[in-house]
Amino acid sequence: MARKILLITVVLFLTSALASQAAKPKWVKKRPSEREYYIGIGMAYKNGHTGLDYAKKARAEASGK
């Protein structure tokens, strides 16, 4: 009985780990690159003092401004 519970636990753990891996976009591990397009990835800290300003900062960083 204990072996069955252990097996079920391991299977559930592996299934959840694979599901979380599949949810990430491809560019997380490999940045996109195409000849015809400039693709920028920007980052900004989210903190309570800036409101929605973090999205503007991230876009500006991505575009190189």
The pLDDT value recorded for residue 24 is: 67
The amino acid at residue 10 is V
Q: Is the pTM of this model over 0.75?
A: no
* pLDDT tens, residue by residue, 30-54: 777 888 877 777 888 877 666 778 8
Question: Average pLDDT of 47-62?
Answer: 77
